[in-house]
């Protein structure tokens, strides 16, 4: 079990800086290609977030109406922050 935890932590530690670097490179340009790559990466991130919430968190058998409303509130808050920032 300790080996598996080490692999997870190492993978996260290695991939996180690479993701930050890719984000900096993509956001640095204002071209159409940079906008397309940014949109694709944001779509992948959103899909991953949706998958984790609905298939890993809510499906564990402890989901109730309160947890459902908490998820709706969280997504609504992120949606509102998107408009406030821009």
Tens digits of residue pLDDT in 51-61: 777 777 766 66
pLDDT digits (tens, 9 = 90+) for 28-49: 766 777 777 777 877 888 888 7
State the Rg of the chain over Cα. 17
In this model, does residue 80 exceed pLDDT 80? yes
The reported pLDDT for the residue numbered 70 is 82
Looking at residue 59, the DSSP 8-state letter turns out to be G
d(CA 41, CA 24): 12
Q: Which two tokens stand for residue 47?
A: 């899909």
CA distance 61 to 74: 20
Q: Is residue 41 a contact partner of residue 26, using CB atoms and an 8 Å limit?
A: yes
Other CB atoms within a 10 A radius of the CB of residue 11 amount to: 10
């Amino acid at each position: 079990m300790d080996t598996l935890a080490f692999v997870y932590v190492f993978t996260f530690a290695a991939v996180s800086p690479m993701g930050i670097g890719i984000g900096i490179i993509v956001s640095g340009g204002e071209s159409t290609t940079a906008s397309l790559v940014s949109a694709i990466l944001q779509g992948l991130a959103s899909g991953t977030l949706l998958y984790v919430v609905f298939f890993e968190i809510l499906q564990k058998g402890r989901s109730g109406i309160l947890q459902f409303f908490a998820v709706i509130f969280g997504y609504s808050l992120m949606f509102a922050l998107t408009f406030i920032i821009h």
